[in-house]
Amino acid sequence: MNMKNVLTSKLLLLTVSMLAIFGCKRGQDSNVSQGTGWKINAKEGGFQYNTKYQEQETAPGLVFVEGGTFTMGRVQDDVMHDWNNTPTQQHVQSFYMDETEVTNLMYLEYLDWMKLVYPPDEENFKNIYNGAIPDTLVWRNRLGYNEVMTNNYLRHPGYSGYPVVGVSWIQAVEYANWRTDRVNELYLQDAGYLEKDTQYGATAEANFSTDTYIATPTSTYGGNDSIIKPQGRGSKQIRTNAKGDTISVFATRETGIISPKYRLPSEAEWEYAALGLSEIRSYNVYRGRKKYPWDGAYTRSGKRQVRGDQLANFKQGKGDYGGIAGWSDDGADITAQVRSYEPNDFGLYDMAGNVAEWVADVYRPIVDDEFNDFNYYRGNVYTKNALNEDGTVKIVTTEDIVYDTLPNGKVIARDLPGEIATVPVDDNETYLRTNFDRSDNRNFRDGDTQSSRYFNEGAFDDENMDDSKKESATRKMYNSPKHNIEVDSAGVMTKEWDKNNKRTSLINDEVRVYKGGSWKDREYWLDPAQRRYFPQNMATDYIGFRCAMSRVGSKSKGQNKTKN
């Protein structure tokens, strides 16, 4: 190499180095505010924020479901002419969903925690634990012998990996809330914000609630500083600013450590996840229609090794729940152990068969896509934190637990000790808003006064008309039975059935959608588009549930995928 080429190479290397250095100087420093130029996370104090956050961690038990658009509703021939399955185009945001249905073992862990923290032998707590126990009597049949399931299905190790049943919609929601707190409790321990293993000593007076920790962290664990301000090895290092004041003592949403809540999936999310449309995707369209969570038009496998085997657990025909002895069609007669069948393309098991599953939505025959086609959900009841007279949030104590008596006689706690009491939103939140104007939106645009078959133009324009009368008028759209339960001061419960023979419907604001076929259903119900409803306070031997969680941040995981 001659001298000229050497000089040229050196100059080129120097130029590249200078450009790299110059480029670095011009690049945005994540710890410097783009808005003000001030330091972020400065040791002197100021604004503290997790500038190294990458993406949401997949919480225990969940798998990622990338959102998108799809046709919700029945797209196959509807032989029943069931008008509540009219196809609509919907878009679902990315979210997470449980890989399997919640199992007996998972639910028993919840019951064990409830029993330890709220001992049922204490009069003040007995209804908390009893309100969480599944109804094992759902297995009984007037003309069938099912006592082995009644006595063993929930607790026996032989059924530990089977989906929990006998759980009402309300109980499923409470389980999801409890699960949120336990996972965030673990996350905060791992990050050093809470003392390790303190969950094993939780009591009714001192335990962890996610909402309480966010709003008033010093109120968690009964205000025990040794737990909420750990000092040992592995604890979060307490920082002080220039004045000597401590900063970053507690985790906030800005840290990215606190996970969004576990919850029941919406009907749109469940149906989208069950279809697993990615396997029939071609460029920017879906090829054809899809009838089941798997590809194809049949319930039996076409693979040579397992040809003819059923792809889900469902009722084959009259008196046939699992085939003949020694040559079982689906390997089960009642429910089956989770993961007994292949997952769909999202990695979700049993999205058809095994048990049907509760979803979050209040049932209405029509999905109102004309009003909304993005993250569709009917059932919003907006609340806010209750406040004390001094402006602090109101924490439920063991002395002021409020219990609700459900129409079926079940007694449940409205809020548990350690949680923040909530109240409906009022005019402070709804005044002059265009996106919502009330707390309870379950019958919005359906079952409201204007939808009532008794509606008379101008009849409800009186500003002085009592709100309860307006509310009662909305029930005339869905004239469902109203059962009544009264409890006197001695705790004696009087149950009164609604014997009115003029009731026109079972639909009201307390009936919830459940999706998917079960071990007790015929093939017709395996289509993810099928939708049925059941009272939210009742349970069966064929409805279970799984949890979901919203995705925060990007639509896709990691880098953007190559577009086809």
Pairwise CA distance, residues 174 & 185, whole Å: 17
432, two tokens: 């002059």
User: For the chain, how big is the Rg over CA atoms in Å?
Assistant: 28
- How many domains is the chain partitioned into structurally? 4
Whether 473 is in a domain gets the answer: yes
Q: Give the model's pLDDT for residue 558.
A: 67
Whether 403 is in a domain gets the answer: yes
Which residues face 420 on adjacent strands? Answer: 395
DSSP state of 139: G
Whether 447 is in a domain gets the answer: yes
505 in Cβ contact with 524 (< 8 Å) = no
Contacts made by residues 216-220, CB under 8 angstroms, sequence distance 24+: 216/392, 216/393, 216/395, 217/250, 217/251, 219/393, 219/395, 220/418
Whether 92 is in a domain gets the answer: yes
265 shares a domain with 311: yes
Pairwise CA distance, residues 57 & 449, whole Å: 45
Q: Write down which residue in 440, 460, 477 finishes a domain.
A: 440
Amino acid at 22: F
Q: Give the model's pLDDT for residue 232.
A: 74
48, two tokens: 């503290």
Q: Write down which residue in 406, 425, 440 finishes a domain.
A: 440
SS (H, E, C) 199-240: HHHCCCCCCCCHHHHHHCHHHHHHHCHHHHCCCCCCCCCCEE
347 shares a domain with 387: no
Residue among 444, 292, 315, 466 nearest 378 (CA)? 444
Pairwise CA distance, residues 259 & 72, whole Å: 29
133 shares a domain with 201: no
- Measured over the CA atoms of residue 272, residue 275, residue 279 and residue 281, the dihedral's sign is negative
165 shares a domain with 129: yes
Q: Write down which residue in 256, 284, 312 finishes a domain.
A: 256
Those residues whose C-beta lies under 8 Å from the C-beta of residue 253, and which sit 6 or more positions away, are: 214
Pairwise CA distance, residues 542 & 139, whole Å: 9
Q: Residues 182, 185, 191, CA angle at the centre, nearest 5°?
A: 145
For 438-507, the DSSP string reads -SB-TTTTSSSGGGSTT--TTTT--TTS-HHHHHHHHTTSS-----EEEE-TT--EEEE----TT---S-
81 shares a domain with 71: yes
pLDDT tens digits, one per residue of 351-404: 999 999 999 999 998 898 989 999 999 999 999 999 999 999 999 999 989 888
160 shares a domain with 289: yes
481 shares a domain with 434: no
List for the chain the helix, strand, coil content (%; round to 5): 25, 15, 60
Q: Give the model's pLDDT for residue 564.
A: 42
Q: Which domain holds residue 478?
A: 443-508
Whether 304 is in a domain gets the answer: yes
Pairwise CA distance, residues 529 & 517, whole Å: 10
Ramachandran bin of 553, using left for φ above 0, alpha for ψ from -120 to 50, beta for the remaining angles: left
Q: Give the model's pLDDT for residue 483.
A: 85
365 shares a domain with 325: yes
362 shares a domain with 461: no
286 shares a domain with 138: yes
Work out the number of other CB atoms within 10 angstroms of the CB of residue 3: 7
332 in Cβ contact with 159 (< 8 Å) = no
Whether 52 is in a domain gets the answer: no
Phi first, then psi, for residue 96 (nearest 5°) are -120, 150
284 shares a domain with 407: no
Using CA atoms, how far residue 338 sits from 17, 312, 352, 529, in Å, is 58, 11, 12, 22
CATH of the domain at 171: 3.90.1580.10
DSSP state of 157: G
**Low-confidence residues in the chain, pLDDT < 70:** 1-28, 75-83, 233, 237, 244, 278-290, 294-296, 298, 300-308, 447-477, 558-564
As to burial, measured by CB atoms within 10 angstroms (0-12 exposed, 13-18 middle, 19+ buried), residue 384 is: middle
301 shares a domain with 198: no
Whether 459 is in a domain gets the answer: yes
Residue among 368, 421, 414 nearest 394 (CA)? 421
Q: Give the model's pLDDT for residue 213.
A: 95
Whether 14 is in a domain gets the answer: no
As to burial, measured by CB atoms within 10 angstroms (0-12 exposed, 13-18 middle, 19+ buried), residue 319 is: exposed
